[in-house]
């Protein structure tokens, strides 16, 4: 449906100028405004190719053309040989932003109705994803603080009772794990061992540079990637290293306490020693113990949430919820670009999709503010 629309020469409100007015209204600023401007500019250029240059000539056919264009980009995303594809969630984000602009135009009586809301127009779009970013688990500040206060208390009690003895290791390890997840935005599989991928052996002490605030992880890209290690994490990691007393820097940061897994890496004659723990034998024999697995990490968080009486949707605080929580904090405070860098998303669209609920909420605030002042 690539029909050409008439009406650009009959007078009316110029699209470019009206978009500019919309962007300047309310409290739009920073990266949010920049993203919105890019979406509307792309939409305007497509309309102008069909002769639509004024807001009054934007009708349901023009919007159906745009919806079909978005659907073609979604279909292109399924073909690895075609560039420029987008996900259904991104298509709907673009469409919803354009619809918000048209709603603004309707309220200012540039339009008598919002053509984007016509059923025949929306029928040209891909199915709206059922996954709503606002319904995914994000560690809130309250959840994060409740968990960290609980692990702080457990670790302090263990140190008070056992000093730097191995008996204090599990609470101290759990504390460090909670802090790393809560503040770094890493994926669980980037710091814990995966039973499905032999390359993912868990974060090693040699991967950390606490003084510089950096660490190296095996990322989703299948490459080793540098990422940040904020100062909130430094003390828990230093305390963990003192208690663990790793025999070498190749030891995992988060060692498993699962006895069968530890005994599996020891020579047969050292199994079930009554005089030494399996971890102590690993240390004395120069054997590297296995890291806590991703399943084990989830079990740790389940136990911590239950013991700390932390009641959250989904049953417990999940590792990926921590990652989303870090990104959300940065997205709100520093913008999408900062969140993208910290989360190491290769494509900005991924960040936009993850936090589309924030953009939608900000848009609602902007529109409300515009009309509250009338």
How far is Cα 131 from Cα 342, in angstroms, rounded to an integer? 23
On whether the CB atoms of residues 171 and 154 are closer than 8 A, the answer is yes
* pLDDT tens digits, 104-156: 899 899 999 999 989 999 999 998 775 555 557 888 888 999 999 999 999 99
Residue 78 has pLDDT above 80, yes or no: no
Residue 30 has pLDDT above 90, yes or no: no
On whether the CB atoms of residues 35 and 359 are closer than 8 A, the answer is yes
Split at pLDDT 50, 70, 90, the class of 3 is: very low
* pLDDT tens digits, 217-232: 998 878 899 999 999 9
Residue 224, both tokens: 């080793």
Q: What pLDDT, on the 0 to 100 scale, is given for residue 96? A: 87
CA atoms within 13 Å, Cβ hemisphere of 227 = 27
> Would you give the distance in Å from CA 283 to the centre of its chain?
37
Residue 52, both tokens: 């639509």
Q: What pLDDT, on the 0 to 100 scale, is given for residue 216? A: 95
Arithmetic mean of pLDDT, 182-192? 94
Among 138, 243, 134, smallest CA distance to 182 is for 138
3-class SS letters over 271-325: CCCCCCCHHHHHHHHCCCCCECEHHHHHHHHHHHHHHCCCCCCCCCCCHHHHHHH
How far is Cα 93 from Cα 32, in angstroms, rounded to an integer? 13
Q: What pLDDT, on the 0 to 100 scale, is given for residue 290? A: 96
Split at pLDDT 50, 70, 90, the class of 373 is: low
In the block, residue with structure tokens 């809130």: 140
Split at pLDDT 50, 70, 90, the class of 315 is: confident
CA atoms within 13 Å, Cβ hemisphere of 49 = 11
- Cα separation of the two ends of the chain: 39
What does pLDDT average to over the chain? Answer: 86
Residue ranges per structural domain of the chain: 15-130+347-372, 141-256+291-325
Instruction: Give CATH for domain 141-256+291-325.
Output: 1.10.443.10
Interior angle at CA 296, CA 304 and CA 320, nearest 5:
75
The pTM score is 0.62
């Amino acid at each position: 449906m690539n029909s050409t629309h008439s009406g650009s020469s009959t007078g009316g409100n110029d699209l470019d100028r009206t978009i500019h007015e919309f962007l300047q209204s309310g409290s739009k600023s920073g990266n949010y405004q920049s993203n919105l401007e890019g979406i509307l500019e792309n939409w305007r250029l497509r309309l102008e190719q069909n002769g639509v240059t004024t807001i009054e000539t934007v009708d349901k056919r023009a919007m159906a053309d745009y919806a079909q264009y978005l659907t073609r980009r979604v279909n292109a995303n399924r073909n690895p040989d075609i560039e420029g594809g987008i996900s259904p969630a991104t298509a709907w984000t673009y469409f919803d932003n354009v619809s918000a602009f048209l709603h603004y135009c309707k309220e200012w009586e540039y339009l008598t109705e919002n053509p984007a809301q016509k059923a025949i127009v929306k029928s040209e779009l891909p199915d709206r994803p059922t996954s709503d970013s606002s319904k995914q688990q994000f560690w809130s500040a309250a959840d994060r603080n409740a968990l960290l206060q609980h692990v702080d208390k457990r670790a302090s009690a263990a140190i008070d009772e056992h000093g730097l003895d191995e008996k204090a290791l599990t609470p101290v390890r759990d504390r460090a794990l909670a802090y790393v997840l809560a503040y770094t935005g890493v994926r669980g599989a980037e710091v814990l061992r995966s039973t499905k991928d032999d390359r993912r052996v868990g974060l090693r002490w040699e991967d950390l540079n606490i003084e510089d605030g950096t660490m190296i992880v095996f990322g989703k890209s299948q490459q080793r990637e540098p990422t940040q290690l904020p100062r909130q994490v430094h003390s828990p990691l230093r305390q963990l290293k003192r208690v663990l007393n790793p025999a070498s820097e190749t030891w995992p940061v988060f060692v498993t306490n699962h006895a069968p897994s530890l005994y599996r890496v020891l020579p047969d004659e050292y199994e079930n020693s009554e005089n030494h723990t399996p971890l102590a034998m690993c240390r004395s024999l120069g054997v590297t113990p296995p890291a806590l697995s991703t399943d084990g990490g989830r079990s740790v968080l389940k136990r911590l949430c239950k013991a700390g009486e932390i009641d959250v949707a989904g049953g417990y605080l999940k590792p990926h919820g921590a990652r989303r929580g870090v990104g959300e904090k940065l997205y709100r405070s520093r913008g999408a670009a900062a969140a993208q860098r910290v989360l190491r998303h290769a494509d900005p669209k991924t960040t936009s999709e993850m936090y589309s609920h924030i953009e939608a909420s900000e848009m609602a605030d902007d529109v409300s503010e515009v009309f509250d002042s009338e």
